[in-house]
Amino acid sequence: MPTPDQMVVAAAQAALRPLGLRRQNRTRTWVEDRGWWLLLVVLERARGGDTRLAVAAKFLWGPMPEFTYDLGGPVYWREDTGDFATERRQDGHVWVQAVRHVRDDQFATDLEQVTGIARRRVEQLRQEIPTPADVARVLSARQSRINATSWWHAFHTGAAAGLSGEAALARKHFDRIRPDRLAVAWEHDLGRRAAALGALADDPPALFHRLRDDIAEMRSGLGLPDTPGGVPPEPVW
């Protein structure tokens, strides 16, 4: 009989491989390489044996060579209807974030629902941000996820705008990362990177090419191929 972990992997493979996502080594993470960002589906093994679902975008212009949830993250759903949301709603209904193995038949049914929700969220995220300009628009409208810091939010918005040729919008968001308000080491590192990119805003092609170089560097750091499809084309200046 398969173990619960094997059941999770089998269900995810069946649901996600047809969409073009591939399992990351022997983890519970599935990845689609979209050139300038990665689409991540994570079926996390949580405390107590629960399995939690997250679907997120990892933007490759950032400075952290690890899988981060830059847009999106945990997914919540109603077991009775299959409706899902990226925040736990306070509407009188029961919204869950995890499933637990009690019996094989019960767990298989729960995994079928969870992986089906993952497929729907994958399609939704693909449609939401097909271009960096869409990322800038989405992030300009709202905070990217619960507990996301305003610094990261500003940085990703600025980078997406810079890749879209919108240098003035890029500068506006990079300038929001103010040195006098930065406290810990990673914030100072982010501030220095934002300042360097913001200084290029007077030369939009230079800003664009610097961001393209940052994406290439991040791809190398993550062990991704050098020449992916989907890298943003250079705008017409």
Determine the residue type at 69: Y
Question: 19 and 112: one domain?
Answer: yes
Q: Which two tokens stand for residue 219?
A: 């791809």
Question: Interhelix angle for 167-174 vs 150-163, to 10°?
Answer: 160
The pTM assigned to this predicted structure is 0.93
Question: 185 and 116: one domain?
Answer: no
Does the structure show a pLDDT above 70 at 16?
Answer: yes
Of 62, 97, 128, which one is at a domain's C-terminal end? 128
Question: 98 and 204: one domain?
Answer: no
What pLDDT score was predicted for residue 144?
45
3-state secondary structure of 89: coil
Kindly report the length of the chain: 237
Question: 92 and 183: one domain?
Answer: no
Number of domains in the chain: 2
What pLDDT score was predicted for residue 227?
67
**Closest-CA residue to 99 (of 7, 210, 169, 217):** 7
Sign of the dihedral defined by the CA atoms of residues 177, 179, 185, 191, in that order: positive
pLDDT tens digits for range 193-207: 999 999 999 999 999
Does the structure show a pLDDT above 80 at 125?
Answer: yes
Question: 186 and 216: one domain?
Answer: yes
Determine the structural domain holding residue 195 and report its residue range.
Answer: 132-221
Q: Which two tokens stand for residue 92?
A: 């009188």
**How many angstroms separate the CA atoms of 155 and 189, rounded?**
12
Q: Which two tokens stand for residue 91?
A: 């509407």
Q: Which two tokens stand for residue 133?
A: 């300009």
In this structure, are residues 21 and 39 in contact, taking their beta carbons and an 8 Å threshold?
A: yes
What pLDDT score was predicted for residue 149?
62
Average pLDDT over residues 91-117: 96
pLDDT tens digits for range 63-102: 889 999 999 999 999 999 999 999 999 999 999 999 999 9
pLDDT tens digits for range 129-174: 999 999 999 998 865 444 456 889 999 999 999 999 999 999 999 9
Of 113, 128, 143, which one is at a domain's C-terminal end? 128
Question: 96 and 137: one domain?
Answer: no
